[in-house]
Copies of this chain bind each other. A is one copy, B any other.
Amino acid sequence: MPLIPKSHPRVKSLLIREKLVNGFDKGLVAKEGLLAQGRGEAFDYLLGEKTNKSASHAIKAAAAQLLVAEMPVISVNGNIAALCPKQIVKLSNQIKANLEVNLFYTNEKRKQAIVKILKKNGANKILGTKSTSSKKLPGIDSARRIVDKDGIFVADVVVVPLEDGDRTMALRKAGKTVITIDLNPLSRTSQTANITIVDNVTRAIDLLINESKKLSKKNQKSLLKIINEFDNKKNLRENVIQIKNNLTRRAKIA
């Protein structure tokens, strides 16, 4: 790994990047995952590289949704395993959700590497690993529609951080309530999900854990009120406005 110069003004972003590159070296991340991270970096840069008010609002709605869920499942891919394995296991314990390894670019070896890192970070049960448990979601190209019959297939609420648009649509069509974490407020995933947290996963998951803890004291009625009052389209528009304001500000400084 080449040395990152400390004098570089984007050293923080370069260090997250290094985490992902290390994840690639360990066989967790696909090549396409490196590209996806790059796209995320660009949007994070435009969002000011911090959790904004709209994201906090979406995180609260997501926490409420997860607390009222009967069978929530968290979908884990290589980038999540490389960037925040500890947090994703912590989130699954906090909200009592199963973890399911679900890859866009299927690869058995990579799947095993992801299972290993999740176990190392405290995960007990991990779905999506046995071919005997495979079930197909309808309405999506063949290779990418496989889910676990005891996981996503029967889940009522699915958390898909960093997901592809086609799969998000397939999940919605299958009747799932979808929560996503996506830095591009205009992506199909963002636009298709029920609740979109427009934030970096390395910041958002910790906040989601905290919010879930806080809201766990509330009753069902209060939680449903939070969910019903949340408007995902409005939230996404606020994020677009945020990017536009940041562009104006940066263009003035430049």
| Copy count, this protein chain | 2
Does A117 make an interface contact (CB < 8 A)? no
What is the distance, in angstroms, from A200's C-beta to the closest C-beta of chain B?
14
Q: Are A143 and B237 in contact (CB under 8 A)?
A: no
Q: What 0/1 readout, one digit per residue, does chain A (242-254) give for beta carbons within 8 Å of chain B?
A: 0110011011001
Q: Which residues of B contact A42 (CB under 8 A)?
A: 38-43, 184
Produce 1/0 per residue, A92-114, CB < 8 A to B: 00000000000001100000000
Q: Which of B38, B105, B251, B254 contacts A34 (CB 8 A)?
A: B38
Q: How far is the CB of A117 from chain B (nearest CB, A)?
A: 18
Contact for A143 among B3, B34, B105, B254, CB less than 8 A: B3
CA gap between A37 and B5 in the complex, in Å: 21
Interface of A: prevailing SS? helix
The answer, yes or no, to whether A17 is at the interface (CB within 8 Å) is yes
Chain A residues proximal to chain B, CB less than 8 Å: 2-3, 5, 7-9, 17, 20-21, 24, 31-32, 34-43, 105-106, 141, 143-144, 165-166, 184, 186, 188, 191, 233, 236-237, 240, 243-244, 247-248, 250-251, 254
User: Can you list 18 contacts pairing A with B, beta carbon distance less than 8 Å?
Assistant: A2-B106, A2-B143, A5-B144, A7-B141, A7-B166, A17-B35, A21-B32, A35-B37, A39-B39, A40-B42, A41-B42, A42-B184, A186-B247, A191-B254, A236-B251, A237-B251, A240-B250, A244-B247
